[in-house]
């Protein structure tokens, strides 16, 4: 009578009866059912994993990286219960080690910066086993802060690469060096704004305030970042460009219209108005922050326009007398 195992396969006579045969696994010495010299499941899986790793390691050019891949396979065996999926897990890590192999800047011992340079956060998350293995082996950690720094530096590096053949490449390279020492996130923000400005203006030499005004019309939220770029070109290259005024709004602005209308009545005869009313009227009409007019304005030009630390604010005819009277009292 034929007997069958749990999987439905037929059993030989030696494996059935009152005293079925067994033998020692040649790999680990554990008891294996049946006669012969077959390995146990765990040893069989380990042998298959080592064979697969060895075949793939042959395609890795640098010997120390190939040895590292082999060590990763042994690490998997030590850390996990042997299952049929384990050899596949090892083989899936081959592209990760191959990327390390192809990166000329990476040498022994590997450091966190190497992984963060070669792989982005998505790739590291997709290869958690390898990342953990390397962290354990070399004694470093890769935390969220390190990933953020790497991401920011990668943004800058990509920007330099994109601009390498452009007329403004030299300026951006100098700007990157000038920004060093600031937080990485800040560096990336300042650099990308400068790159976008260079691309928008097709920069090849000194730009002027009109270029800044035009760019800010399309990207008004970049003013603070752009001002740092302007400071850089002024200090590094001696360009005389200045940031445009933050405002230059028409006096008929809708915001705070009632307040402005009331103030205009009170200063209708400027020579009789109190100085504070004159100042507040100008601040509100031209968008200066409250109380900053005296600090921002340095005088008037011949046309009666306001000269500010950031450039000229054109004064409309209906505001000329008010501005002139305020200027006469404070300068």
Q: How many whole angstroms separate alpha carbon 282 and alpha carbon 324?
A: 11
Tens digit of each residue's pLDDT (9 = 90 or more) over 47-70: 999 999 999 999 999 999 999 999
- Whether residue 136 sits in one domain with residue 70: yes
Residue 256: pLDDT over 60: no
Rounded distance between C-alpha atoms, residue 144 and residue 121, angstroms: 9
Among 120, 142, 164, the domain boundary falls at 142
- Domain contains 247: no
Higher confidence at residue 37 or residue 237? 237
In a domain, 252, yes or no: no
Least confident of 31-35, 44-48, 323-327: 31-35
- Is the domain of 157 the same as that of 125? no
Q: Looking at residue 30, what is its pLDDT? A: 62
Check pLDDT > 60 for residue 249: no
If one compares 250 and 282, the residue with the highest pLDDT of the two is: 282
For a pLDDT cut of 90, what percent of the chain falls above it?
44
Query: Once rounded to an integer, what is the mean pLDDT over residues 118-139?
Result: 91
Kindly state whether residues 318 and 298 are assigned to the same domain: yes
Contacts by 107-110, CB closer than 8 A, 24 or more apart: 108/64, 109/138, 110/134, 110/138
Query: pLDDT band for position 250 (50/70/90)?
Result: very low
Please identify which residue in the block is written with the tokens 């008891």.
31
Q: Is the pLDDT of residue 160 over 80?
A: yes
Q: Give 87's pLDDT tier (boundaries 50, 70, 90).
A: very high
Same domain, 157 and 174: yes
Q: Same domain for 158 and 102?
A: no
Q: Looking at the structure, do residues 32 and 51 belong to the same domain, yes or no? A: no
Read off the pLDDT band of 242 (50, 70, 90): confident
Q: What is the dihedral of CA 26, 31, 35, 40, to 10 degrees?
A: -60
Residue 251: inside a domain, yes or no? no
Same domain? For 46 and 129 the reply is yes
Q: Which domain holds residue 22?
A: 3-39
- Here the tokens at position 103 are 């990166």
Round the CA-based radius of gyration of the chain to a whole number and report it. 36
Same domain, 60 and 79: yes
Q: What is the DSSP string of 296-310?
A: HEEEE-TTSPEEETT
Average pLDDT over residues 98-121: 90
pLDDT at position 150, please? 78
The answer on pLDDT for 236 being more than 80 is: yes
* pLDDT value at residue 247: 56
User: Quick one: pLDDT at residue 240?
Assistant: 85
Q: How many CA atoms lie within 13 A of 41 on its CB side?
A: 7
C-alpha to C-alpha distance for 214 and 201, rounded to whole angstroms: 9
Same domain, yes or no: 66 and 132: yes
Q: Lowest-pLDDT range, 32-41, 114-123, 162-171, 208-217? A: 32-41
Q: Does residue 246 lie in a domain region?
A: no
Helical H segments across 139-256, by residue range: 144-162, 169-179, 184-201, 209-218, 223-237
Q: Which of 319, 331, 237 shows the shortest CA–CA distance to 283?
A: 319
Residue that is last in its domain, among 142, 164, 194: 142
- Residue 109: asked if its preceding bond is cis (omega within 30°), the reply is yes
Asked if pLDDT for residue 122 goes beyond 70, the answer is: yes
Q: Please give the share of the chain, as a percent, with pLDDT higher than 70.
A: 84
Say yes or no: 185 and 163 in one domain. yes
In a domain, 243, yes or no: no
How high is the mean pLDDT of the chain? 84
Shared-domain flag, residues 199 and 228: yes
- pLDDT over threshold 80, residue 303: yes
In a domain, 216, yes or no: yes
Within this chain, do residues 137 and 176 fall inside the same structural domain, yes or no? Answer: no
Domain count, the chain: 4
Residue 91, pLDDT above cutoff 80 = yes
Cβ atoms within 10 Å of 276's Cβ, excluding its own: 9
Point out the domain boundary residue: 103, 121, 142: 142
CA atoms within 13 Å, Cβ hemisphere of 299: 4
Burial 118-135 (b: 16+ CB within 10 A, else e): bbeeeebeebebbbebbe
Tokens 């923000």, residue located: 189
Q: Classify residue 248: in a domain, yes or no.
A: no
Q: What is the model's pLDDT at position 229?
A: 95
Give CA torsion, residues 25, 27, 28, 31, to 10 deg: 0
pLDDT band at 153 (very low <50, low <70, confident <90, very high): confident
pLDDT tens digits, one per residue of 9-43: 665 655 555 566 666 766 565 666 666 666 677 78
Residue 250 domain-assigned (yes or no): no
Whole-number pLDDT of residue 142: 82
pTM tops 0.85, yes or no: no
């Amino acid at each position: 009578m034929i007997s069958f195992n749990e999987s439905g396969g037929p059993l030989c006579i030696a494996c059935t009866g009152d005293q079925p045969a067994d033998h020692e696994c040649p790999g680990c010495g554990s008891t294996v059912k049946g006669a012969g010299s077959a390995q146990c499941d765990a040893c069989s899986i380990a042998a298959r994993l080592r064979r697969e790793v060895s075949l793939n390691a042959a395609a890795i050019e640098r010997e120390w990286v190939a040895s590292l891949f082999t060590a990763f396979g042994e690490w998997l065996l030590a850390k996990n219960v042997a299952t049929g999926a384990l050899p596949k897990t090892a083989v899936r890590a081959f592209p990760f080690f191959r990327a390390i192999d192809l990166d000329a800047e990476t040498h022994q011992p590997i450091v966190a910066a190497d992984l963060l340079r070669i792989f982005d956060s998505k790739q590291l998350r997709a290869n958690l086993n390898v990342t953990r293995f390397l962290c354990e082996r070399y004694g470093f950690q890769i935390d969220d802060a390190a990933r953020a720094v790497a991401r920011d530096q990668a943004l800058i590096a990509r920007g330099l690469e994109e601009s390498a053949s452009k007329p403004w490449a030299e300026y951006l390279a100098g700007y990157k060096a000038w920004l060093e020492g600031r937080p990485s996130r800040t560096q990336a923000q300042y650099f990308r704004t400068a790159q976008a400005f260079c691309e928008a203006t097709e920069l090849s030499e000194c730009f002027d305030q009109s270029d800044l005004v035009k760019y800010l019309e399309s990207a008004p939220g970049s003013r603070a970042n752009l001002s740092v770029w302007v400071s850089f070109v002024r200090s590094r290259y001696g360009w005389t460009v200045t940031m445009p005024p933050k405002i230059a709004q028409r006096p008929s602005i809708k915001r705070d219209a009632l307040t402005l209308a009331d103030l205009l009545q009170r200063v209708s005869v400027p020579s009789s108005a109190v100085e504070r009313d004159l100042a507040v009227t100008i601040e509100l009409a031209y968008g200066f922050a409250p109380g900053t007019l005296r600090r921002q304005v340095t005088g008037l030009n011949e046309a009666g326009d306001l000269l500010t630390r950031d450039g000229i604010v054109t004064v409309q005819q209906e505001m000329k007398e008010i501005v002139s009277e305020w200027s006469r009292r404070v300068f």
